[in-house]
Structure 1
Amino acid sequence: MSETSKQRVSFRFYLLSAFAGLASSLIYPLMSLFLVDGLGTEPMMIGVYTVSVTLSGLIISQWLGNKADRGSNPRQLFSIAICSFMVAVFIYANTETFFLVWLTGIVFMALGNSATPQMLTLGRQWANANRVDTTVFNARVRAAISFAWMTGPPLAFALASAFSYQTSFYAAGACALIALLYLRFGVPDSNQQQAVKTSQEIAHPHFSFWLLAAAMAAGMAANLMYSSSLPLYVSRELGFATHWPGVFMGLVACLEIPVMLFSANLARRISKEWVLIMAFIFALIFYLGIFNATQIWHFIALQTINALFYGLFAGVGLTLMQEQIPERIGFTSASYSNSLKIGMMMGTSLTGLIAQFSSFQYASIGAMIAIIIALLALIGFMRFQPQDGHC
Structure 2
Amino acid sequence: MLPSPSAHLASTKLFIVLSILTGLVGAFINPLMSYFLVDSLDVPPIYIGLYTISLTISGIVISQWLGSLADKGTSSRKLYLLATAGTVLALVIYSNTQSFIVVLIAGVILMALGNATTPQMLTLGRQWAGNNTVNITQFNARIRACFSFAWMLGPPLGFMLVASVGFSGAFSVAIFFGLLGMLFVTFFVPEQQIDESKQQSTKMQKAPLSFWYLGAAVVMGSTANTMYTSALPLYTLNELKLPSYTPGVLMGIVACIEIPVMLFTTRLSRWVNKKDLMIISFMFGLVFYIGIFNATLFWHFALLQLLNAVFYGLYAGIGLTLMQEQLPQRIGFTSAFYSNGIKIGLMFGSTGAGFIAQFFSFKHTSVGSAIAAILGVICLLLFSRFKCQESSISPISN
TM-score (norm 2): 0.96
1:225 aligned partner: 227
Secondary structure (helix, strand or coil) at the match of 1:204 reads: coil
Paired residue type of 1:328: R
User: 1-side partners of 2:325 and 2:198: how far apart?
Assistant: 21
What is the Cα deviation at residue 190 of structure 1? 2.4
1:207 aligned partner: 209
Aligned residues of 1:261 and 1:315 also touching (Cα < 8 A): yes
**Residue 263 of structure 2 corresponds to residue 261 of structure 1:** yes
Secondary structure (helix, strand or coil) at the match of 2:260 reads: helix
1:313-359 CA-partner distances (Å, limit 9, x unpaired): 00000000000010000001011011111111001101011001100
Map 1:318-333 to 2 at 5 A. Answer: 318-333=320-335
1:61 aligned partner: 63
User: 2-side partners of 1:68 and 1:268: how far apart?
Assistant: 30
User: 2-side partners of 1:40 and 1:200: how far apart?
Assistant: 48
Aligned residues of 1:65 and 1:331 also touching (Cα < 8 A): yes
2:344 aligned partner: 342
Unaligned runs of 5+ in 2: none
Unaligned runs of 5+ in 1: none
1:51-109 CA-partner distances (Å, limit 9, x unpaired): 00000000001101111111111001111000111001110011111000011000000
Query: Quick one: structure 1 residues 389 and 360, their matched pair in 2 at CA, closer, same or farther if it must change by over 3 Å?
Result: farther
Query: Quick one: structure 1 residues 270 and 155, their matched pair in 2 at CA, closer, same or farther if it must change by over 3 Å?
Result: same
Aligned residues of 1:70 and 1:195 also touching (Cα < 8 A): no
2:251 to 249, 252, 255: 249
1:72 aligned partner: 74
1:229-267 CA-partner distances (Å, limit 9, x unpaired): 100001111011222101101111111000000011101
Map 1:1-391 to 2 at 5 A. Answer: 1-194=3-196, 197=199, 201-385=203-387, 386-387=390-391, 388=395
Secondary structure (helix, strand or coil) at the match of 2:328 reads: coil
Paired residue type of 1:90: V
Aligned residues of 1:213 and 1:335 also touching (Cα < 8 A): yes
User: 2-side partners of 1:279 and 1:147: how far apart?
Assistant: 20
User: 2-side partners of 1:88 and 1:131: how far apart?
Assistant: 38
Aligned residues of 2:71 and 2:202 also touching (Cα < 8 A): no
Paired residue type of 1:145: F
What is the Cα deviation at residue 8 of structure 1? 1.2
What is the Cα deviation at residue 200 of structure 1? 8.4
Aligned residues of 1:53 and 1:106 also touching (Cα < 8 A): yes
Aligned residues of 1:324 and 1:389 also touching (Cα < 8 A): no
Aligned residues of 2:18 and 2:181 also touching (Cα < 8 A): yes
Aligned residues of 2:141 and 2:266 also touching (Cα < 8 A): yes
Runs of 4+ in 1 over 3 A off after TM superposition: 191-200, 388-391
Query: Quick one: structure 1 residues 310 and 182, their matched pair in 2 at CA, closer, same or farther if it must change by over 3 Å?
Result: same
What is the Cα deviation at residue 301 of structure 1? 0.4
What is the Cα deviation at residue 198 of structure 1? 6.8
Secondary structure (helix, strand or coil) at the match of 2:364 reads: helix
Aligned residues of 1:71 and 1:196 also touching (Cα < 8 A): no
Percent identity for Structure 1 against Structure 2: 49
User: 1-side partners of 2:202 and 2:235: how far apart?
Assistant: 52
User: 2-side partners of 1:159 and 1:201: how far apart?
Assistant: 47
Paired residue type of 2:332: G
Secondary structure (helix, strand or coil) at the match of 2:363 reads: helix
1:24-55 CA-partner distances (Å, limit 9, x unpaired): 11111000000000111111100000000000
What is the Cα deviation at residue 278 of structure 1? 1.1
Q: How many equivalent pairs are there?
A: 391
Aligned residues of 1:259 and 1:307 also touching (Cα < 8 A): yes
1:150-187 CA-partner distances (Å, limit 9, x unpaired): 10000000000011100000100100111111111122
Query: Quick one: structure 1 residues 197 and 190, their matched pair in 2 at CA, closer, same or farther if it must change by over 3 Å?
Result: closer
User: 2-side partners of 1:365 and 1:315: how far apart?
Assistant: 25
Query: Quick one: structure 1 residues 348 and 390, their matched pair in 2 at CA, closer, same or farther if it must change by over 3 Å?
Result: farther
TM-score (norm 1): 0.98
